[in-house]
Structure 1
Amino acid sequence: MAEDTWLRIQERFVSVQGEGALVGVPSSFIRVSGCNLRCAWCDTPRTSWAPEGEAVELDALVRWCAAGPRHVVLTGGEPMLFAASAALSQRLRAAGHHLTIETAGTRRCPGIAADLMSISPKLGHSTPWDRARAQAKLALAERHERDRLDLAVLRELTAGFAWQLKFVVRCADAASVRADLDEIEDLLAALEIPAKHRDRVLLMPEGVDAADLEAGYRVAAPLIVERGLRLGLRLHIQLYGNRPGT
Structure 2
Amino acid sequence: MGTIRIRFILVALVVGFFAIGMSAFLNFFKYKSTFGTIVRERVLVVGRGVENAVQASLNVGLQFTELETLTPLMKREKIADQLILGMDVFDDAGQVIYSTDDARLKRDVPISWISAAKRSKTTEWFSEEGDEVIAGISLKNNFDLTVGYLAMRYSRSYLDKASVGVGREILIASLIAFVVVAVVTPLMLIVVIRRFERDLHVLETAVTHLEDGSPPPPPTGSAFDGAIASLRESLRGVREELDDVRRKLDSAK
**More strand by percentage:** 1
TM-score interval for Structure 1 and Structure 2 normalised by the shorter chain:
under 0.3
Structure index of larger Rg: 2
**More helix by percentage:** 2
